[in-house]
C-alpha cells in the first residue's frame, strides 16, 4: 500500500522564508490570516488527508463508481470522508464568510488542493468542482442566486458541476447544441445531452447544482452565442434560513464512462430534458462567465499534476532506500547486505532528483501565483490589483500545462523506480500514472493552454501581462547577481530569461505575419516559459535557504538539501530551456509543409 505525508515542512519554508505571505494579513479582511494561522490550518488539513482521505485511494480505484438506473454509487468510505470534510468547514475553505465560508487566503486553498490530490485525486474532484460552480455564481450570478446557492455549496451540503462538453465538442464550444427556451416565469427549459461530466451524479450530497452551457433561440452562431445556466438536480425549496432539495428536475444521468484512471470519480452522461434552469450572467456571454470558473479550475488541475508527482515521489523514495539490487559502481555501499539499496545508482538518483526538483519548484510557483489571487481579491489599491490579475492570467495556462505534463512524467518516472512492481496494482504506482494522465486533457487540453498563452496572453495590452513576469525576474537577477553564494543560481536563470525574451519577440513577430507560426511554437514556448519560472523559483528558494533570519524559530531555515536540489535543477533540468529555445526558433515550416496525406506515406 502506498503512503503519503503532506509536505508541511516545504510549505512552512515557502511561507516563512521565501515569500512574504505575511503581507496578506495586512490586506483588509485578511487580518486573521497570518502565516501561523495558515500553518495550523495546513497541519490539520494534512491530518485529514493522510488519515482519512488517502486510505480510500487504492480501494476506491479497485472498486470504482457503480451506475444503476440513473443513480451512481461512490466507493466505500467516500460518503463518510466527504461528510467529515464538510463538518470541518473544509469545503468552504476559501469561500466568503458572508456565504458561510471560512474566508481563508487562496494560498491555503491551493496547498489544500495539492494535499487532496496527492491523497486521493478522484475524491478531491468532488469538492473541487463545487468550488468552480461557487466561483461562477459568485462572479456572475444575481443576488438571489448567490443567496440561494453559495451557502449550500460552501457548506458542501450541495455539490456542483461544470457541464460544457458534448459529444461533438470539447475544445470548440461554439459547436454546442444544448438549447435553452425562455419560459414565462423568467426561467428557461434546458434540453440537450452533455458528456464527460465529472461528479455529474453521485450519492455524496442531497442535491447537485449543474452549471450548463447552452444556446438561446436567438443565439448567434459560434462561441459568441453561448449562455450559462444554473440547473439544479432537485428544485430548491426554502427550509428555515437555508434550502432543501424539493421535486426532481428534468436532469438524468444516462451512464458513466469506463476509463483509464480517476475511477472513483464518476464521469457522466447527463441528459437534460426540458429541465428548469436560470440564466447566470448576461445572455450570450456564457463563455466569459465560464472562464472565471475555468481559471480557478485550471489552477486546481495544475495542483492535481503536482499532487500526483509528490505522492509518487514519496513512495519511490522509500522504495529506492529499501530495494536491494546490484552494487554501487564504485564498490559496495552496504557490504553487510546481499546488495546495495538502488538509491546508490546514478540513474535512480537522476530519476528521483528530477521529480524532486519539479515538485519543490512547482510548489513554490503555486504559492507565488496563489498569492496573486489573494492580492487580486483583497488589495484595495487598483494598481496592485491589476498587476496581480495580469500575472495570474499570464501564469494560469503555464501552470496548468506544465504542472500536468511534468506531473505525469514524474509519476511515470516514479513508477520506473519500482521496476516490475511499479506495474502491479497493489503497490499503487500505476494508479498514480493512470490518474495523472487526465490532468493533461481536461480543463482545456495542454495544447490549448499553449495557444492561450501565445495567442491571447502574450499580445494582451501590448505585452503588459508579460512585463509582470519579466520585470520581477530581471530585478531579482540583477540585485542578487553580485552575491557570491547566489551567483551559481542567478546566472543560469538570467541567461534562460534572455532566451525567453528573445523567443517571445520572435514568436510575436512571426505569429503576426503567419498565425501557424505562433501555433507551431506554442507548446515549446510554454515549456520554455515554465522552465524560466521554475528557475526563478529555485533561485529564490536558494536565497531563502541561505539567509538566516532573526525571527526564525527553532526550525533552522538553512537547508543543505534545498541547495543541492537547486544545483541539480540548474545543472540537469534548466538546460532543457536551450532545446526548447531552438525548437521555437526553428519555426513551423517543417510541420506545415507536410500535406495531410503524406502523414500516412
Partner 1 sequence: MKILVPVKRVIDYNVRIRVKPDHSGVETANVKMSMNPFDEIAVEEAVRLKEKGKATEVVAVSIGPAQAQDTLRTAMAIGADRALQILADGDIEPLAVAKILKAVAGREAPQMVILGKQAIDDDSAQTGQMLAALLGWPQATFASTVEITEDRVLVTREVDGGHQTLELTLPAVVTTDLRLNEPRYASLPNIMKAKKKPLESLPVAEFGVDTSPRLTLVKVEEPSVRQAGKRVQSVAELVDKLRNEAKVI
List contacts with partner 1 (CB under 8 A). Answer: 5, 8-9, 32, 36-37, 40-41, 44, 47-48, 52, 84, 87-90, 92-93, 102, 104, 553-556
In the complex with partner 1, the residue whose CB is nearer, 52 or 374, is 52
CA dihedral 533, 575, 538, 390 (to 10 degrees): 0
In the complex with partner 1, the residue whose CB is nearer, 89 or 250, is 89
Helix (H) / strand (E) element for 197: namely: strand 188-198
- Residue 32 touches which of partner 1, ligand FAD, none (CB < 5 to 8 A by kind)? partner 1
Residues paired with residue 267 on neighbouring β-strands, in sequence order: 198
- Residue 575 touches which of ligand FAD, partner 1, none (CB < 5 to 8 A by kind)? none
In angstroms, what is the minimal distance from the CB of 427 to partner 1?
21
Neighbours of 420 (CB within 10 A): 7
In the complex with partner 1, the residue whose CB is nearer, 5 or 259, is 5
Strand pairing report for 251-256 and 227-232 = unpaired
- The answer to whether 101 and 154 are in contact (CB under 8 A) is yes
DSSP secondary structure, 332-369, as one string:
-SSTTSSS-BGGGSHHHHHHHHHHHHHHHHHHHHHHHH
- The answer to whether 128 and 442 are in contact (CB under 8 A) is no
- State the cell numbers at 446: 495542454
Helix, strand, coil content of the chain in percent (nearest 5): 60, 15, 25
In the complex with ligand FAD, the residue whose CB is nearer, 451 or 493, is 451
How far apart are the C-alpha atoms of 293 and 288, rounded to whole Å?
9
In the complex with ligand FAD, the residue whose CB is nearer, 298 or 562, is 298
- Residue 102 touches which of ligand FAD, partner 1, none (CB < 5 to 8 A by kind)? partner 1
At what angle are helices 382-417 and 429-437 packed, to 10 degrees?
140
In angstroms, what is the minimal distance from the CB of 483 to ligand FAD?
43
In angstroms, what is the minimal distance from the CB of 37 to partner 1?
6
In angstroms, what is the minimal distance from the CB of 88 to partner 1?
4
Q: What are the C-alpha distances in Å from 445 to residues 172, 337, 441, 520, 580?
A: 11, 48, 4, 16, 20
The pair phi, psi for residue 270, each rounded to 5°, is -115, 120
Q: b or e along 162-171 (b: 16 or more beta carbons within 10 Å of the residue's beta carbon)?
A: bbbbbeeebe
The pair phi, psi for residue 120, each rounded to 5°, is -170, 90
Considering the candidates 113, 387, 409, 443, report the single residue annotated as catalytic. 443
- Residue 344 touches which of ligand FAD, partner 1, none (CB < 5 to 8 A by kind)? none
- Residue 52 touches which of ligand FAD, partner 1, none (CB < 5 to 8 A by kind)? partner 1
In the complex with partner 1, the residue whose CB is nearer, 41 or 364, is 41
Residues 6+ apart with CB under 8 A from 327: 333, 339, 340, 344
- Residue 472 touches which of partner 1, ligand FAD, none (CB < 5 to 8 A by kind)? none
- What region, left, alpha or beta, does residue 381 occupy, with left being phi > 0 and alpha being psi -120 to 50 degrees? beta
In angstroms, what is the minimal distance from the CB of 75 to ligand FAD?
16
Neighbours of 5 (CB within 10 A): 14
- Residue 47 touches which of ligand FAD, partner 1, none (CB < 5 to 8 A by kind)? partner 1
Which stretches of the chain bind ligand FAD, using CB under 6 A? 162-165, 170-171, 196-198, 259, 262, 267, 438, 441-442, 445, 447-448, 451
In angstroms, what is the minimal distance from the CB of 533 to partner 1?
29
In angstroms, what is the minimal distance from the CB of 457 to ligand FAD?
16
Neighbours of 513 (CB within 10 A): 9
- The answer to whether 530 and 302 are in contact (CB under 8 A) is no
How far apart are the C-alpha atoms of 215 and 223, rounded to whole Å?
10
- Residue 40 touches which of ligand FAD, partner 1, none (CB < 5 to 8 A by kind)? partner 1
CA dihedral 226, 257, 131, 189 (to 10 degrees): 40
In the complex with partner 1, the residue whose CB is nearer, 49 or 253, is 49
In the complex with ligand FAD, the residue whose CB is nearer, 294 or 429, is 294
Neighbours of 335 (CB within 10 A): 8
In angstroms, what is the minimal distance from the CB of 359 to partner 1?
19
Active site residue 443: yes
Q: Is the dihedral of CA 134, 139, 144, 146 positive or negative?
A: positive
In angstroms, what is the minimal distance from the CB of 48 to partner 1?
6
- Residue 447 touches which of ligand FAD, partner 1, none (CB < 5 to 8 A by kind)? ligand FAD
In the complex with partner 1, the residue whose CB is nearer, 46 or 392, is 46
Whose CB is nearest to ligand FAD? Answer: 170
- The answer to whether 121 and 115 are in contact (CB under 8 A) is no
How far apart are the C-alpha atoms of 145 and 140, rounded to whole Å?
9
- Residue 197 touches which of ligand FAD, partner 1, none (CB < 5 to 8 A by kind)? ligand FAD
In angstroms, what is the minimal distance from the CB of 5 to partner 1?
7
In the complex with partner 1, the residue whose CB is nearer, 114 or 405, is 114
How far apart are the C-alpha atoms of 444 and 308, rounded to whole Å?
19
DSSP label at 587? Answer: -
Q: Which residues are catalytic?
A: 443
Amino acid at each position: 500500500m502506498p503512503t503519503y505525508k503532506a509536505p508541511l515542512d516545504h510549505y512552512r519554508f515557502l511561507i516563512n522564508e521565501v515569500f512574504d505571505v505575511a503581507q496578506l494579513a495586512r490586506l483588509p479582511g485578511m487580518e486573521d490570516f497570518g502565516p501561523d494561522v495558515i500553518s495550523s490550518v495546513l497541519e490539520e488539513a494534512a491530518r485529514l488527508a493522510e488519515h482519512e482521505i488517502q486510505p480510500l485511494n487504492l480501494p476506491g480505484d479497485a472498486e470504482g463508481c457503480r451506475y444503476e438506473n440513473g443513480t451512481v454509487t461512490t466507493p466505500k468510505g467516500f460518503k463518510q470522508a466527504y461528510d467529515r470534510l464538510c463538518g470541518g468547514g473544509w469545503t468552504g475553505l476559501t469561500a466568503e464568510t458572508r456565504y458561510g465560508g471560512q474566508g481563508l487566503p487562496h494560498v491555503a486553498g491551493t496547498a489544500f488542493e495539492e494535499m487532496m490530490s496527492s491523497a486521493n485525486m478522484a475524491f478531491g474532484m468532488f469538492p473541487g468542482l463545487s468550488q468552480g460552480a461557487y466561483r461562477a455564481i459568485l462572479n456572475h450570478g444575481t443576488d438571489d442566486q448567490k443567496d440561494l446557492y453559495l451557502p449550500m455549496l460552501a457548506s458542501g451540503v450541495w455539490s456542483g458541476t461544470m457541464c460544457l462538453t458534448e459529444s461533438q465538442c470539447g475544445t470548440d464550444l461554439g459547436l454546442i447544441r444544448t438549447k435553452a427556451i425562455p419560459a414565462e416565469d423568467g426561467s428557461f427549459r434546458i434540453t440537450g445531452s452533455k458528456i464527460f461530466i465529472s461528479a455529474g451524479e453521485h450519492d455524496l450530497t442531497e442535491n447537485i447544482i449543474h452549471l450548463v452551457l447552452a444556446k438561446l433561440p436567438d443565439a448567434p452562431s459560434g462561441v459568441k452565442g453561448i449562455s450559462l445556466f444554473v440547473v439544479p438536480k432537485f428544485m430548491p425549496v426554502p427550509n428555515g434560513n437555508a434550502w432543501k432539495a424539493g421535486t426532481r428536475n428534468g436532469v438524468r444521468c444516462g451512464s458513466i464512462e469506463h476509463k483509464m484512471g480517476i475511477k472513483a470519480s464518476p464521469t457522466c452522461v447527463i441528459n437534460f430534458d426540458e429541465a428548469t434552469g436560470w440564466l447566470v450572467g448576461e445572455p450570450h456571454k456564457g463563455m466569459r462567465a465560464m472562464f472565471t470558473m475555468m481559471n480557478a479550475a485550471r489552477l486546481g488541475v495544475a495542483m492535481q499534476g503536482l499532487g500526483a508527482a509528490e505522492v509518487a515521489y514519496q513512495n519511490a523514495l522509500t522504495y529506492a532506500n529499501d530495494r536491494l539490487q546490484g552494487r554501487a559502481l564504485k564498490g559496495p555501499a552496504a557490504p553487510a547486505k546481499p546488495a546495495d539499496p538502488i538509491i546508490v545508482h546514478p540513474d535512480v538518483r537522476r530519476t528521483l532528483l528530477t521529480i524532486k526538483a519539479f515538485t519543490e519548484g512547482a510548489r513554490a510557483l503555486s504559492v507565488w501565483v496563489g498569492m496573486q489571487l489573494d492580492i487580486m481579491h483583497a488589495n484595495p489599491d487598483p494598481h496592485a490589483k491589476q498587476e496581480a490579475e495580469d500575472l495570474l492570467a499570464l501564469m494560469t495556462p503555464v501552470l496548468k500545462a506544465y504542472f500536468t505534463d511534468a506531473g505525469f512524467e514524474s509519476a511515470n518516472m516514479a513508477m520506473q523506480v519500482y521496476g516490475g512492481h511499479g506495474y502491479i496494482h497493489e503497490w499503487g504506482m500505476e494508479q498514480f500514472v493512470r490518474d495523472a494522465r487526465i490532468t493533461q486533457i481536461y480543463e482545456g487540453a495542454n495544447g490549448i493552454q499553449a495557444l492561450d498563452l501565445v495567442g491571447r496572453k502574450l499580445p494582451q495590452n501590448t505585452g503588459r501581462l508579460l512585463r509582470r513576469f519579466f520585470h520581477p525576474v530581471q530585478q531579482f537577477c540583477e540585485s542578487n547577481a553580485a552575491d557570491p553564494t547566489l551567483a551559481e543560481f542567478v546566472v543560469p536563470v538570467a541567461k534562460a530569461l534572455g532566451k525567453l525574451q528573445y523567443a517571445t519577440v520572435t514568436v510575436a513577430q512571426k505569429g503576426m505575419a503567419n498565425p501557424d507560426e505562433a501555433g507551431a511554437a506554442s507548446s515549446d514556448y510554454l515549456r520554455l516559459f515554465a522552465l524560466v519560472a521554475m528557475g526563478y523559483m529555485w533561485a529564490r528558494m536558494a536565497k531563502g535557504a541561505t539567509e538566516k533570519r532573526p525571527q526564525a524559530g527553532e526550525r533552522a531555515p538553512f537547508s543543505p538539501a534545498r541547495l543541492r536540489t537547486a544545483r541539480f535543477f540548474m545543472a540537469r533540468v534548466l538546460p532543457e530551456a536551450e532545446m526548447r529555445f531552438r525548437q521555437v526558433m526553428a519555426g513551423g515550416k517543417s510541420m506545415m509543409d507536410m500535406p495531410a496525406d503524406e502523414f500516412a506515406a
